Amino acid sequence: MQKIADFTSGELERFKDVQRLAYESVEAVEQQLEVGMTEKEAAALIKAYLDERGVDSYLHKPFAWFGERTAFTGFWSDFHFFPTNRKLEKGMPVILDVAPTVAGYTADIGYALSFGEPNPVLEKMRRVLLDIRSYILEAVLAENTFLEIYHGVDQIIADNDFRNAHQVYPRRVLGHRVTKTHTSFYDNLSLFGFSARQLQWLVPGVVQGLLRQSSPLWNDLKESDHTPIAGTWAIEPHLASQDGQVGAKWEEILVITDSTAYWLDDNVPHVKNIRPAPPKTIAA
């Protein structure tokens, strides 16, 4: 593993605090969802919750996706990511995603749920996503390259008859670095919903990737053909059903040091709330 300056334990606790706050916000909004609510209204509720609790800027403002939009069906430009007037219906899959910053510490989280009633496809996705979580950590500890790990995630997705949806994200990212910044008015400037801070690292990251230098992005391109780089990484595997009607993801911080790696917090909703697989029926 390539070595960079590590964060102190106190700084990692600050990242964890922000990540927990972000998850609290989407869990709180889950309880406020109603039939007929739009994606824009759900995203506004997330922002209001976080603004009231000390968030001073955003790496990106809240996203909310309902129904087939959770699978990124029909997403052919970056503008499709932003919340729309799509209305919520009972039984729809929902994804809530936000990246708040507090005093320079950023977390980026994603949360999947089924509104009003269980969805068997979504439940299977949750279990597969948990397998992917275990695989990613094991592969990083084994010092597989980011590129190899990405392909390994693809294989798990295919083996379970789902599609890779995170390849639709800008630069096809499975993950990206999150860093500590000095918050200023600059962080509150945005373009198309992305903060100036995010654009500041995203654009140079693309350039670095093209030059085959260390990039803050983790994808399936040549720029990720290297062993794990130490730092705090927001990882976001995203699955879609073959019919494009259901999508699910999680996103959380993976800590990589020069000697080890671990998830910043194992007490996250997609780990706590996983339901066991239904028992297999034994033929008589």
CATH 3.90.230.10 at 9-272, yes or no = yes
CB 103 within 8 A of CB 82: no
pTM of the model: 0.88
> Which two structure tokens, joined as six digits, stand for 78?
């970056």
Angle CA 200–52–14, to nearest 5: 55
Q: Rounded to an integer, what distance in angstroms lies between the CA atom of residue 56 and that of residue 104?
A: 9
Give the largest Cα separation in the chain, rounded: 68
Residue that wins the pLDDT comparison between 108 and 182: 108
CB 136 within 8 A of CB 53: no
Strand-strand pairing, 175-177 and 163-164: unpaired
Q: What are the tens digits of pLDDT across the range 236-282?
A: 999 999 999 999 999 999 999 999 999 999 999 999 987 666 655 55
Residue that wins the pLDDT comparison between 212 and 255: 255
pLDDT of residue 208: 46
Domain residue extents for the chain: 9-272
pLDDT-wise least confident of 6-15, 111-120, 194-203, 225-234: 194-203
Distance from chain centroid for Cα 82: 15
